[in-house]
């Protein structure tokens, strides 16, 4: 999941997708929670 989604997160979120991509987004539990923050509003944190 980490490597597969790293492309999606890294594409829109190179800063957040890098460090959190392996930790937060990599986790199956956080994946659903962060999906709203990451995919829902990729430009919000940026």
Q: What is the pLDDT of residue 31?
A: 46
> Global pTM?
0.12
Task: Say if residues 9 and 2 touch (Cβ distance below 8 Å).
Answer: no
Instruction: Give the whole-angstrom CA distance, residue 21 versus residue 33.
Output: 13
Q: What is the pLDDT of residue 25?
A: 47
Helix, strand, coil percentages (3-state) for the chain, rounded to 5, are 55, 0, 45
- Tens digit of each residue's pLDDT (9 = 90 or more) over 1-46: 444 444 455 555 445 444 444 444 444 444 444 445 545 445 545 5
Q: What is the pLDDT of residue 42?
A: 52
Task: Say if residues 27 and 11 touch (Cβ distance below 8 Å).
Answer: no
Task: Say if residues 37 and 12 touch (Cβ distance below 8 Å).
Answer: no
Instruction: Give the whole-angstrom CA distance, residue 19 versus residue 14.
Output: 9
Q: What is the pLDDT of residue 46?
A: 54
């Amino acid at each position: 999941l980490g490597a597969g989604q790293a492309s999606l997160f890294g594409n829109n979120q190179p800063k957040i997708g890098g460090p959190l991509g392996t930790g937060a987004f990599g986790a199956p539990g956080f994946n659903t929670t962060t999906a709203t923050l990451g995919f829902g509003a990729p430009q919000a944190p940026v």
